[in-house]
Structure 1
Amino acid sequence: MHKHLPKIYYFINKFDLKELQTINKSVSIIYRNYEKSVDEKTINLIKKYCKKNKQKIFISNNFKIAIKLKLDGLYIPSFNRVLNTHNYSKPLNFHIIGSAHNEMEIRIKENQGCELVFLSPIFKIKKQKTFLNIIKFNKISLYKKVPLIALGGINNENLKKINILRCVGFAGISWIKKNGLNKFRPLLKV
């Protein structure tokens, strides 16, 4: 099931062609913008760009739009604890992924039908005082059936530590945007 999902994910909140062109083609895009209402025109521009470059595109928190616009899947953020995806029929090759911060939230994501869960923050970040670490992350991953993606605080100093995490990939925002994924070519093999 998760074998067909990408290893690296990048979060965006608008259509910026220059930004998207710096991102490696093997990286999937997750569109999330909680400040504005969903603009189908923007989503279609991102979808068109991603389809042209054979990248997967996910939208955050909007199952109906994801189905209507024939996107690759849905991303369910950690704060969404009520969305029941089992009530909807989903097309073939449609993936549901989500994020969590602890074991309880991972269970919620499993119940929501997520095939992958982004567990964060792995490393120290400015926005949050607490973070998991390699040991806690690996301990949590031992007992979970759903594959995990590392998220949060990934940078040049701790990139090599991803190899010792029990995860199937990683995701980022600022560091990937800054580097355009040129620094870790060996991790891009899908």
Structure 2
Amino acid sequence: MFRRNPRNQCLPECWLFTDEKRGGDPCAAIRRLPRGSGVIFRHYADPRREPLARRCARIARQKGHVFLVAGDEKLARRVGADGTHMPGFARMARPFTAAAHNRTELIRAERAGARLVFLSPVFATQSHPDGRAMGRTGFGRLARTAKVRVAALGGVTPHRYRSLKQWGAAGWGAISALS
């Protein structure tokens, strides 16, 4: 059983995506987030993934954040996470959030039951240096057809998020802008 049921609570607007290659110390970044933010713990290749996830989950609880583990429901349960995040490469039953890079993945995330889908990359980003950014208009086209709330990811900053609200953004996520 997950620590609490985030499906019954308000969704944070601001989400930190942890990253072992970029972003520095995830524990420090979680402490700096505004109270009530969201954290998506990735660190897929970290050999100390579980102990690090436990520390991050504890700090997130102390700060009132929603804490999700990406791609691993068993780990999410072991560390007392609020739920899971379905990366674009994974298939999961009932993720709380999911990633999508196009219409097909957006539909897959909706069908899986995600409450919030992160569309990316909206802008040029270090995470996908060769990826084609969809821009505000492309984001808006996909967000407005979605049957689920959509958040912006990829090169998003607080200022850019404010400009994306008119295009249907219900939140935003970042690595560098929040690390």
Q: Fold-level match, TM-score > 0.5?
A: yes
Q: What's the CA shift string for 1:33-53, capped at 9, x where partnerless?
A: 122256332222111111111
Name the amino acid aligned to 2:40: I
* Bigger CA radius of gyration: 1
Decide whether aligned partners of structure 1 residues 61 and 112 sit closer, same or farther in structure 2, where only a CA change above 3 A counts.
same
Q: Deviation of residue 156 (structure 1)?
A: 7.0
TM-score scaled to structure 1, two decimals?
0.77
Structure 1 residue 5 and structure 2 residue 6: aligned? no
1:15-94 equivalence runs, <5 A? 16-37=26-47, 39-80=49-90, 82-83=91-92, 85=93
Identity of counterpart residues, as a percentage? Answer: 22
Amino acid at match of 1:103: R
Distance 2:143 2:83 in 1: 23
- 1:153 maps onto 2:163 in alignment: no
Decide which moves more: 33-42 or 62-71: 33-42
Give the number of equivalent residue pairs.
167
Q: Deviations over 1:81-124 (max 9, x none)?
A: x33x16xxxxxxxx611000000011111222211100001112
**Partner residue of 1:107?**
107
Specify every segment of 5 or more residues in structure 1 that has no aligned partner in the other structure, as ranges. 87-94, 178-190
- The runs of 5 or more residues in structure 2 that have no matched partner are 1-6
The two structures, once aligned, show a CA RMSD in angstroms of: 2.3
* Superposition TM-score, scaled by structure 2 size: 0.81
Aligned residue identity for 1:7: E
In structure 1, the partner of 2:3 is none
